[in-house]
Structure 1
């Protein structure tokens, strides 16, 4: 539980509230066989994590975050290189559209430098909290961009297995 508390606290500091679930719902995901959180330790303390779903035909990265004092030191890039090296499946993740903010554009560039492709098709993350609204996002994919047909299949896979729609 202590490790998860760190992960959740870092999640709260790193993502808008609409992009993560409340504590109990997020914790309950750990009971799923297809969902895992991986943590990184440096100097004896937890410094970063990523959460992924192993879905039929793809790996979906739901969250990746690095403790503030360790940002800019290459840890996020190393984590994503580990993810890439550790799966033979397509990797997909959600990002805020780069036109939304300087930070969103910076995150997209970060993933592009690692070989991800921004897919320019309509996508919304369903509401993660009771009474919340869907969030307009975009999908990035590795190792190649998605065509319209594959995008539709990937989107349906994510909506079904991650969001239960």
Structure 2
């Protein structure tokens, strides 16, 4: 099974970029990277001042053996904030709770002030995600929001019309920042 099939089996269709989209990013965007092994696929964006995890898959056979922690630790060693999107906990899907607990154990915080709602071009369904982040220093959620917005505008929507036949929604419709919910530093 190739890396895309692994991701496609694990992530809901609403969260998946097309294979063509990911391959174009790998080819045309030097900051878009793939780390792949027999039991994992990690797709991430490394910018000068942050890392964004696009997809992290660890095979069932390797879960509980510290592989996910090792992959996250490798990213943490870069000394930059790490941002990712994760599905809200769905008690009918135990994987959502396990993922959230994993990131919590790794020191990730919920960006309570950032909202993320995007209509899937594939299904038309509204996909709501939670933004999690880890930072080696006190990073303001407003800064996380700006980094998330940059990722959405340069990676998520990259060549969207060419790839999907229509544009993704503009960032200001998908991402919101509520200053009143932001923790004070």
Q: Does the alignment reach a TM-score above 0.5? A: yes
TM-score by length of 1: 0.80
Which residue pairs with 2:155 in the alignment? 162
Q: Give 2:80's match in structure 1, choosing from 89, 112, 115.
A: 89
TM-score by length of 2: 0.72
Distance 1:126 1:53, change over 3 A: farther
Structure 2 residue ranges without an equivalent (≥5) = 158-169, 171-185
User: Offset at 1:68?
Assistant: 2.2
Which residue pairs with 2:68 in the alignment? 76
Distance 1:148 1:83, change over 3 A: closer
SS at match of 2:79: coil
Q: Give 1:20's match in structure 2, choosing from 13, 16, 20.
A: 16
| Superposition map of 1:1-165 within 5 A | 6-31=2-27, 32-40=29-37, 46-85=38-77, 87-98=78-89, 101-124=93-116, 126-127=118-119, 129-130=121-122, 132-143=124-135, 147-164=140-157, 165=170
Distance 1:33 1:126, change over 3 A: farther
**Contact 1:119 1:141 (8 Å CA) reproduced:** yes
Q: What do you get for the CA RMSD once the two structures are aligned?
A: 2.4
Larger Rg: 2
**Contact 2:111 2:141 (8 Å CA) reproduced:** no
Aligned residues, how many?
155
User: Offset at 1:123?
Assistant: 2.6
